[in-house]
A and B are shown apart, each in its own frame.
Chain A
């Protein structure tokens, strides 16, 4: 009971900070608000019994990725984004309409048919390091190796892009 209340509270924090990310003109404020959103998502993972992923969310997203973001934003020393010229305001309302159509489209598809949702399994065994590691190194060994290759490619690409003249 208390846990479900906590879920809704944290979910509202996540949605609020996500809205702040999108609506803010200053990129630094957006980045800090996104960190808050990631922490809220980590708590949600804990409530869904994905303990290892909750730790990874804080390590990778809030730690590595957002520090990189803040570093890049502060390196370029950007100001506020200037307001949109008048003749392009139509674009904004049009995009809002598109997103609403998208949202209700998914809503209808997901909740139109209810037979996919059986009563949930109460006892959950996975979520720790052991079960995740077992799956990663047996059933998903090839995707795991490909992910390491992807990281290598990303590393080489970043080093190349950081050269003085491209």
Chain B
């Protein structure tokens, strides 16, 4: 392996934490969505690292499935955000409180 597994996992942890930070910090729905993509990618990196480490292709199959899921998720999620913008003229999630009353 090029680097020890610990370093791959540490990088994956850092990227995942940055993604969580983005979900908590930002109020633009697009940026939150992009942070979720970042978290998925961090998990993918960890899976690829483990797959290389254990000399097995199973982890890469999981990454493949996660990528499929991400593609479907982005299509549906962006459609929801655009429908929301059509109804409320905003993508700021603090102003979207339809279910509050």
Contacts and interface: CB of A to CB of B under 8 A. Distances in A.
Main secondary structure of the interface of A (DSSP, over half): helix
B38 A76 contact: no
Contact of A22 (B26, B74, B85): B26
B1 interface: yes
Given A61-B37, A92-B25, A151-B68, A132 B60 contact: yes
Chain B interface residue count: which class? Answer: 35 or more
A87 interface: no
B72 to A, nearest CB: 3
Contacts of A98: 24
A132 to B, nearest CB: 6
Main secondary structure of the interface of B (DSSP, over half): helix
Contact of B52 (A7, A50, A139, A151): A50
A47 B82 CA distance: 38
B37 A50 contact: no
B57 A127 contact: yes
Contacts of B85: 76
Contacts, number: 220
Contact of B25 (A22, A78, A154, A162): A22
A154 to B, nearest CB: 3
Nearest to A85: B94
B67 to A, nearest CB: 5
Nearest to B73: A154
Interface of A: 3-4, 7-8, 11, 14-15, 18-19, 21-25, 27, 30-31, 34, 37-38, 41, 44-45, 47-50, 52-53, 56-57, 60-61, 64-65, 68-69, 72-73, 75-76, 78, 81, 84, 92, 95-96, 98-99, 102-103, 106-107, 110-111, 117, 120-127, 131-132, 135-136, 139-140, 143-144, 147, 150-151, 153-155, 157-158, 161-162, 166
